[in-house]
Structure 1
């Protein structure tokens, strides 16, 4: 039975080494980027968000080393920049944590936190969250997962931040490269109580829930077959590889210019140009 309090992918976390430079890079790629957010001293991190409907991307950077951000720092040390974790939308984090506990996954949290938000009119408000994590060691395909309950959606999904020159609208797929797609997909399917499916080219997809984006597990060879003209330098052997984004492809092609690589169904930003993350814009 599917989890009742976890309803699909909420956002993708892209870990970056220099937060402000990464934000400028994503602006050059045609994204509207939020003002910088700063987390608590305990968390020691800061972020920029790139808002879609109903999901978003988060650029996350370590500002001050803390015990809390040790896993993120270890990720950067091992893999460089890229998709470090994926968040699900939690309806109720306390109940969601108990749901995964009942399935044999002791949760970390729930934890409440907030960050200041500069609103379009210049006033300062706050974005408030309650999150819980699956055990850190449970990282299918090398990608950690957690769930996020938004207590102040109005300070996160701000209309002015949801329009992008590259025509980006929402996430369609999270691409994870791994030498063992079947094993890693099965692990994730167990963790979120979903059924994996095999696609025509042998790639394995795991629905995240509802109408939200799918996880797609594939080998580097399979990724190269899907995107034959896209340089894949910079991707890990096992880990988050990219995001497929529903978009206005003509707008994306115009915004990306020479950075974009045409593919069969859209235009693609190679990982080296996307802070370790391939970005495929499709209709």
Structure 2
């Protein structure tokens, strides 16, 4: 059996509460290696950052970002307190004393989740959907019987013309029975609502990338109907649009991405970015000695073996 089904698009969920992908997360063993590799692929990568709790040193995970005007790719690595990534910026967390134990517990839980992802494989483990109304999403999921952890408010660093600013954001993580909170079998899936940021920096990429188009979720053939139903509850009915999650049976992954094999099942196997000029993108990859292949549809992609466990598809924007 071979099955390939598109299952996420713009304005497919009730009340128009989906606007495409917010970001995908590439979990890596070593942040220095990851930032070097992504720059070789032609992406502009922000300096890594890591949290610092009051009275303590580096903790949790380090993050670096590949920003686009509307979305981004996140690089994530567990912090080694004795070896922070090159050029990484500490982000001191200001929190009232009474709230410190709770925040420390959240950071530990997040770190444990990321470490568990790496034990499965290095690669894509996070897919977060963009929404203008996360409270409506929470209500819709609850009504549909989808377990989730509720809406949380955080701040994240964003590079702007005025320097680094802390951007308010609200997020929700979907949970699955029998797994730790915020986990589903394929990793971390959820929704995020951000306040608009004026003039984000770092969105001009040498490879011409302009935005995140979608990602590929590979599952065992026999699990396709269940996963299709599950994502239908998360995201709405199948329909093509600005951004999507493509569900593919394991037996069909080689047709979609020739030469690729799933590192585990279920797993996010790839993501797609739009580029201004695919000929120029392919030339840059060739000049940087990056191996490329063609998808079943004839698009350019970098195999997962050359991109730290996550295949990257480059698509000519319309």
> Is the structural similarity TM-score above 0.5?
yes
Q: 1:16 to 1:104 in 2, by over 3 A?
A: same
Q: Which has the larger radius of gyration?
A: 2
User: How far has the Cα of 1:29 moved from its partner?
Assistant: 0.6
**CA shift digits 1:36-76 (9 cap, x unpaired):** 23346498222111122422211112226712322221111
User: How far has the Cα of 1:119 moved from its partner?
Assistant: 4.1
**CA shift digits 1:251-274 (9 cap, x unpaired):** 221221132323153321110111
Q: CA–CA distance in 2 between the matches of 1:45 and 1:178?
A: 28
2:29 aligned to 17, 29, 32, which one? 17
Corresponding residue SS for 1:153? coil
C-alpha RMSD of matched pairs (Å)? 2.7
Corresponding residue SS for 2:46? coil
1:252 aligns with 2:281: yes
- Normalising by structure 1, report the TM-score: 0.82
The aligned residue for residue 165 of structure 1 is: 206
Corresponding residue SS for 1:27? helix
Q: How does 1:105-254 map to 2 (within 5 A)?
A: 105-119=146-160, 123-137=163-177, 142-154=186-198, 158=200, 160-179=201-220, 180-192=223-235, 194-196=236-238, 211-228=241-258, 231-232=259-260, 235-247=263-275, 248-254=277-283
1:51 aligns with 2:31: no
Structure 1 spans left out of the alignment, 5+ residues = 197-205
Quick check: 1:100–1:191 contact (8 Å CA) kept in 2? yes
User: How far has the Cα of 1:86 moved from its partner?
Assistant: 0.7
The answer to which structure, 1 or 2, has the higher relative contact order (CA under 8 A, 6+ apart) is: 2
Q: CA–CA distance in 1 between the matches of 2:187 and 2:248?
A: 14
The aligned residue for residue 71 of structure 1 is: 113
The aligned residue for residue 315 of structure 2 is: 282
Corresponding residue SS for 2:129? strand
1:84 aligned to 125, 129, 136, which one? 125
- Normalising by structure 2, report the TM-score: 0.73
Corresponding residue SS for 2:20? strand
Quick check: 2:176–2:184 contact (8 Å CA) kept in 1? no
How many residue pairs get aligned? The number is: 263
Quick check: 1:80–1:276 contact (8 Å CA) kept in 2? yes
Structure 2 spans left out of the alignment, 5+ residues = 1-11, 81-106
